[in-house]
Amino acid sequence: MTLAGRRVAVTGATGFLGTRLVPALARAGWRVRVLARRAPAPGTWGEIEPDLVSGDLADSEALERLLAGTDLVIHVAGLIKSRARSAFFAVNEVGARQVARLAPRDGMILVSSLAAREPLLSDYAASKRAGEDAARAALGERLTIVRPPAIYGPGDRETLAMFQLAAASPILPLFGGPCARLTLAHVDEVVGAIVNLAGRAGRPALVSVPGARAEGYGWAEILNTAANAVGRRVRLVPTPSALVMAAGAASEALAALSGRTAIFTRGKAREILHPDWSITPADGLDAGAFASIALDEGFAQTIAWYREKGWLPNSRTSAPGSRLAATRP
């Protein structure tokens, strides 16, 4: 499919995923228009300067301006943390419905989450499933839903905490049982999948991005790889599920007292403790179409970016000839 002169509208363009998606779409030949609540910082999209529409998902006039004359909309915007269930649904369900109702002729790619597969786990997961259902009701076959698993990579502030802990502590908590599986995808894998789908005729109704390993990783392997990547030796300590849930409740309480919004809540704890976040063909697996990045390579790239930006301290100097390796408990 030739993309010459074709226009794509993007919501969520200033977020973690959106700031890497917009340049990738431009490189692929799309003319990109974005929605932003406030003026973006210089260099948000590197050297790319997309058309900018000021407004948010609740502004119907802004959405009309965003979508006028476009061929496709990629809806990335979403709320990942909130103190109120209603706020999740106002953005993740109502926002998706509003965009879908105005979607152009080639429809919409909705970036959802693998969490939508398990809507009873958390308010976030329930709102993402509700957003999928609302968009599907509005668009039918003109909708493609992309369900990424947990996303990491340069610029991500949410998984930064795992690397900070691995860099600072000789002990890391080990979640779940030995059979628990978590699929991870580098942000560039997800971007590549979306760009591929945007230029693809006959898009599938549902696609999950499998990362380098669709069957996922055990928590021990993830934490060991993170520790290796920051150059530390750690001990993994099995952590009871009840303690993880208590930590989520404590995080919520502290956030409420301080007036901030916590990412780690009881709902997030239930998501973390869910035993199976692997991806199967039933999830819309289409691994052959997307390039993958090995976990150790992706973690190393991410940490290098964090250190360059000053988000993580530089690694400790090892003794000549030594090699730090994480150890299993």
What CATH code is carried by the domain that includes residue 12? 3.40.50.720
Domain presence at residue 126: yes
42 lies in the same domain as 153: no
Question: In this structure, are residues 187 and 16 in contact, taking their beta carbons and an 8 Å threshold?
Answer: yes
Question: Is beta strand 31-36 parallel, antiparallel or unpaired with respect to 51-54?
Answer: parallel
Q: What residues of the chain score a pLDDT lower than 70?
A: 1-4, 286-290, 315-329
Domain presence at residue 224: yes
pLDDT for 249 equals 96
164 lies in the same domain as 72: no
Alpha-carbon torsion angle 7, 20, 135, 148, nearest 10: 140
263 lies in the same domain as 297: yes
User: For all residues of the chain together, what is the average pLDDT?
Assistant: 91
Quote the strand ranges of 163-285, DSSP E. 171-174, 181-182, 184-186, 206-208, 235-238, 276-277
Domain presence at residue 189: no
Domain boundary among 96, 127, 147: 147
pLDDT for 285 equals 77
> Please, how many CA atoms are within 13 Å of residue 63, restricted to the half-sphere of its CB?
21
Tokens of 308: 């360059």
DSSP string for residues in 43-62: TTTTT---EEEE--TT-HHH
Domain boundary among 119, 147, 175: 147
| Nearest CA-CA partner of 190 in 163, 158, 154 | 154
pLDDT for 315 equals 65
Distance CA 36, CA 316 (A): 40
Number of independent structural domains in the chain: 2
90 lies in the same domain as 143: yes
127 lies in the same domain as 168: no
Find the domain containing 50 and state its range. Answer: 7-147
235 lies in the same domain as 259: yes
Domain boundary among 147, 176, 196: 147
136 lies in the same domain as 161: no
179 lies in the same domain as 326: yes
The pTM is what? 0.92
163 lies in the same domain as 103: no
Q: Mind listing the pLDDT tens digit for each residue in 258-308?
A: 999 999 999 999 999 999 999 999 998 764 566 789 999 999 999 999 999
Distance CA 316, CA 307 (A): 12
83 lies in the same domain as 117: yes
Question: In this structure, are residues 60 and 97 in contact, taking their beta carbons and an 8 Å threshold?
Answer: no
Distance CA 275, CA 260 (A): 29
Cα 110 to the center of its chain, rounded Å: 13
Q: Mind listing the pLDDT tens digit for each residue in 218-252?
A: 999 999 999 999 999 999 999 999 999 999 999 99
156 lies in the same domain as 133: no
Q: At 266, is the secondary structure helix, strand, or coil?
A: helix
180 lies in the same domain as 109: no
